[in-house]
């Protein structure tokens, strides 16, 4: 498969980066979104004309625009980068002469030590914050529901925000600490409710509703903004 060229086309939904590929194996003209490139890829069979690709693009302009808009931009932990913590933005500030890991000062996350370890220190800091915040939320809710919580751990899971093991251990993605408080509150309530109901039945949702008022808003937030959290750090 050869990369022909990449260009930005003015589609009805807005400008879209388009990459053209010609494939000997392709049977028909097709479109797909390349999340890394942030572009739509048009694949043409050997003898298809570029106009066939263009007309497919035009007839799917809304789909293309929507998918490209939904693609989150990657954010790396670096000096000067703004990242969310509990929904508010903090700027990472490298303090090479300082000692002692990372800490919050005003609207900054200040990071000591060698630049080579900055990203690692920010990650460690956020993981510790996540363990602390989600641990407090979960144990408070477990207590309110009269449930026994064995342990809370944070992981770098990418397929789920939280999980509940049969032994009573709750796990959360550390990236949740970047989401607003009401989202953290809901995910904690959801996993705590699984301590009693290992399913998503009516009684499970009734318990979730007792433990948090934020289910609908948090669900909507995670659906819209959740993927972005996976592209930070
Ligand atoms: Zn669940």
d(CA 224, CA 233): 19
The alpha carbon of 215 and the centre of ligand 1 are apart by a number of angstroms equal to 12
pLDDT of residue 35: 78
The alpha carbon of 173 and the centre of ligand 1 are apart by a number of angstroms equal to 14
The alpha carbon of 230 and the centre of ligand 1 are apart by a number of angstroms equal to 19
Dump the DSSP string for 151-196.
Answer: EEEEE--SS-SEEE-TTSEEEEEGGGGGS-HHHHHHHHHHHHHHTT
**What are the residue boundaries of the structural domains of the chain, listed by start?**
2-70, 82-229
Domain 82-229 in CATH 3.30.2010.10: yes
Q: Which residues contact 198 (CB under 8 A, 6 or more apart)?
A: 164, 166
Dihedral-angle region of residue 100 (phi above 0 means left; psi in -120 to 50 means alpha; beta otherwise): left
DSSP class of residue 72 equals P
pLDDT digits (tens), the chain, 233 positions: 334 455 777 777 666 778 889 999 999 999 999 876 678 899 999 999 999 999 999 999 888 888 887 777 778 899 999 999 998 999 999 999 998 899 999 999 999 999 999 999 999 999 999 999 999 999 999 999 999 999 999 998 766 899 999 999 999 999 999 999 999 999 999 999 999 999 999 999 999 999 999 999 999 998 778 867 877 88
The alpha carbon of 205 and the centre of ligand 1 are apart by a number of angstroms equal to 9
The alpha carbon of 188 and the centre of ligand 1 are apart by a number of angstroms equal to 10
pLDDT of residue 188: 97
């Amino acid at each position: 498969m050869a990369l022909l060229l990449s260009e930005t086309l003015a589609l009805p939904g807005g400008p879209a980066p388009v990459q053209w590929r010609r494939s000997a194996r392709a049977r028909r003209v097709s479109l797909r979104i390349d999340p890394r490139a942030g572009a739509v890829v048009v694949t043409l069979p050997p003898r298809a004309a570029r106009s066939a690709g263009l007309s497919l693009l035009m007839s799917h302009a809304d789909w293309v625009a929507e998918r490209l808009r939904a693609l989150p931009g990657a954010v790396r932990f670096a000096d000067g980068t703004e990242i969310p913590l509990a929904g508010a933005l903090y700027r990472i500030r490298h303090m090479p002469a300082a000692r002692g890991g990372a800490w919050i000062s005003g609207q900054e996350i200040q990071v000591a030590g060698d630049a080579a370890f900055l990203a690692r220190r920010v990650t460690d800091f956020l993981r510790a914050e996540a363990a602390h915040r989600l641990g407090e939320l979960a144990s408070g809710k477990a207590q309110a529901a009269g449930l026994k919580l064995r342990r809370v751990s944070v992981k770098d899971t990418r397929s789920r925000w939280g999980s509940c093991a049969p032994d009573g251990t709750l796990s959360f993605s550390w990236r949740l600490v970047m989401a607003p408080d009401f989202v953290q509150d809901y995910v904690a309530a959801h996993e705590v409710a699984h301590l009693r109901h290992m399913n998503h039945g009516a009684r499970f949702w009734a318990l979730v509703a007792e433990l948090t008022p934020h289910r609908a808003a948090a669900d909507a937030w995670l659906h819209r903004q959740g993927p972005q959290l996976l592209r930070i750090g």
